[in-house]
């Protein structure tokens, strides 16, 4: 495995962890992870890259080794602001090459339209957007959020890291035992009683009280000036889970001015785990 180093930076009052691979003088490649994932998740993809890169991958607030938010909720716009400050810290003088997976892909794609001058190229891995909602759902959503705030959310824990690795393999049959063991050591952490808990703030389980307005996301996507690589796994169930029809996906892709689409065979939603070599080849081809 290619070695990585941890760098901690203060971002908007939180101690942010960034995992870095490669020499400091190599071209920078920023990669942002999805919900309930961590930066170390990209180890297999980084190992498969052939060119020399300075890969910088943060743990989003409340995930991995980054500090948890000081409030009782997580707000999606905070990811835009955190990313903006991270890019300012690591590459303030030029537009960046940005890769995002799932939630990270949604953040990166919207950010590239909010700050088009800051993104030179964008790789969106399974960041399909969310299911559109109707305004009349707002009272129900706010009421649910208020109710959930009264409960203390929690993730289940595990007997040991091996048990967590087995859970990961149960969720993804393509994951090898070796890769699952590696991920378990980064997705989990030891508790004082010797059991293993997820290295994530349980507050991420709270429903978002603000409805997802796909029209706003599309307005941001239309402002993206950078070339965009849209990558999905051939066997991914993400669109089905989100109840997105082929027509929905086609409409979302047309928002991007300069779109290239690729499908990774024999890969599901976690395509950076399932086919890192194929994914690396597609990304490096796009980046030229």
Identify the CATH number of the domain in which residue 24 sits.
Answer: 3.40.50.1820
Q: Tell whether 144 is covered by a domain.
A: no
Residue 231 CB burial class (10 angstroms; 0-12, 13-18, ≥19) = buried
In tens, the pLDDT along 191-202 reads 999 999 999 999
CA–CA separation, 106 vs 103, rounded Å? 5
Q: Tell whether 254 is covered by a domain.
A: yes
Q: Enter the pTM of the model.
A: 0.96
CA–CA separation, 54 vs 26, rounded Å? 5
State the residue range of the domain holding 67.
4-132+213-287
Q: Tell whether 159 is covered by a domain.
A: no
Share of the chain above pLDDT 90, in %: 99
Q: Nearest to residue 287, comparing CAs of 122, 124, 125, 128?
A: 122
User: Has residue 119 got a pLDDT over 90?
Assistant: yes
Confidence of residue 152 (pLDDT cuts 50, 70, 90): confident
CA–CA separation, 100 vs 228, rounded Å? 11
Q: Locate the DSSP E strands across 139-272.
A: 188-190, 196-198, 228-233, 259-264
CA–CA separation, 263 vs 252, rounded Å? 16
Give residues with Cβ within 8 angstroms of 29, minimum separation 6.
53, 54, 55, 56, 97, 99, 287
In tens, the pLDDT along 131-147 reads 999 999 999 999 999 99
Domain count, the chain: 1
Distances in Å between the Cα of 149 and the Cα atoms of 89, 108, 258, 276 are: 34, 28, 42, 39
In tens, the pLDDT along 58-116 reads 999 999 999 999 999 999 999 999 999 999 999 999 999 999 999 999 999 999 999 99
Distances in Å between the Cα of 128 and the Cα atoms of 42, 63, 171, 204, 266 are: 19, 21, 20, 20, 19
Q: Tell whether 176 is covered by a domain.
A: no
């Amino acid at each position: 495995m290619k070695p990585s180093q941890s760098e901690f930076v203060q971002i908007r009052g939180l101690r942010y962890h960034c995992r870095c691979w490669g020499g400091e003088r190599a071209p920078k490649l920023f990669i942002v992870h999805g919900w309930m994932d961590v930066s170390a998740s990209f180890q297999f993809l980084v190992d498969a890259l052939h060119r020399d890169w300075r890969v910088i991958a943060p743990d989003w607030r409340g995930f991995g080794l980054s500090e948890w938010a000081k409030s009782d909720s997580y707000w999606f716009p905070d990811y835009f602001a955190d990313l903006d400050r991270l890019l300012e810290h690591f590459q303030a003088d030029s537009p960046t090459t940005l890769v995002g997976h799932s939630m990270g892909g949604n953040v990166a794609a919207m950010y590239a339209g909010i700050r088009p001058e800051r993104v030179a190229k964008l790789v969106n891995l399974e960041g399909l957007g969310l299911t559109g909602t109707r305004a009349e759902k707002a009272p129900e959503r706010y009421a649910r959020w208020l109710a959930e705030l009264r409960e203390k959310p929690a993730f289940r824990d595990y007997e040991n890291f091996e048990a967590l690795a087995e859970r990961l393999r149960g969720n993804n049959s393509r994951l090898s035992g070796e890769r699952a063991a590696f991920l378990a050591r980064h997705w989990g952490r030891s508790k004082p009683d010797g059991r293993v808990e997820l290295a994530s703030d349980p507050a991420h389980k709270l429903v978002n009280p603000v409805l997802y307005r796909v029209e706003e996301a599309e307005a941001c996507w239309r402002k993206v000036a950078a070339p965009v690589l849209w990558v999905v796994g051939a066997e991914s169930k993400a669109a089905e889970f989100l109840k997105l029809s082929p027509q929905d996906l086609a409409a979302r892709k047309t928002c991007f001015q300069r779109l290239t689409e690729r499908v990774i065979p024999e890969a599901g939603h976690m395509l950076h785990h399932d086919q890192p070599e194929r994914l690396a080849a597609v990304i490096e081809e796009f980046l030229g």
